Each structure stands twice: as structure tokens, then as C-alpha cells.
Amino acid sequence: MTQSHGELKVATRGKGFYDITRDIRRWMGAQQIQNGLLTVFIRHTSASLTIQENADPDVRRDMSEFFERLVPENTPWFRHTTEGSDDMPSHIRSALTSTSLSIPVLAGLPGLGTWQAIYVFEHRAEQQVRHVLLHLIGN
């Protein structure tokens, strides 16, 4: 059994979905592990990870709009607004989604379906640099 650790730095330009599948595949290709399990973990409380459809951008637009409506900015009873009106909504959106993903590895690649991609789901309005940890275990 072999293990590898890595990190991706993902520059975001504000709210939305940022496809990191290609970067993950590139990193995995250098690890020489053919079968096992990949854990992807984002080191933030105002962004998250998701596996979503990569073909129709309307899916990501609808997801974004859903979370905007579910947890709107400028909610008057939010106390934690230190970094702006998107501060507390970003934390709530992150709590409702995922900070880590476990993905089977088959033939050296993430075992994703045909229309699936791995995304950083940015909840903040301003540019950020997000740190995503990768842990691959297998043989």
C-alpha cells in the first residue's frame, strides 16, 4: 500500500464553481497509484467541494441561484459580518455542502461518471486563493 499527499492552490474570481478535475488528474498521474482511494479536502470554511455535472452550465447556474436564495446576503440577524455581507452566508453554504470528498481510483484516474467533475464551490464574492489537500492511498 502506497500513500501520496499533495496540495492544489485554486485562484477564484468570486462566487461560482471552479473545475479542478484536470489538476487532480495531472497530480494523480505523477503518483503511480493505479487503484485505491483519493481524498480531496478544502482548508476553508467559506468555500466547499462538490461533484457535479460538467456538461450543461445551467446546472451550476441553478445550484448557485439555489444557494443564493437559500442563504441570502444582508440577512439582518446575522452577527458575523466582519468581512462583509457575504461572510456568514458563505459559512452556512459551506456547512450545507462538503469540505471533503472520497473518490475511488480506478486505473490511475478518479472513478468519476461520464458527466461528473470535481469543483471548488466558492461562496465569497471577492477573489480568493483556496488550498485543496489531496491524499491518495492504494497500489
Question: CA-CA distance, 124 to 77, in Å (whole number)?
Answer: 19
Q: How many Cβ atoms from other residues are within 10 Å of residue 67's Cβ?
A: 20
Domain range summary for the chain, segments of one domain joined by +: 2-138
Q: Angle at the Cα of 98 (from 94 to 99), degrees rounded to 5?
A: 85
Does domain 2-138 fall under CATH 2.60.120.460? My reply is yes
pLDDT of 46: 98
85-127 pLDDT per residue, tens: 999 999 999 999 999 999 999 999 999 999 999 999 999 999 9
pLDDT of 81: 92
57-90 pLDDT per residue, tens: 999 999 999 999 999 999 999 999 999 999 999 9
Q: What phi and psi, each to the nearest 5 degrees, are found at residue 87? A: -65, -65
pLDDT of 97: 97
| Residue 5 banded pLDDT, cuts 50, 70, 90 | very high
The model's pTM: 0.96
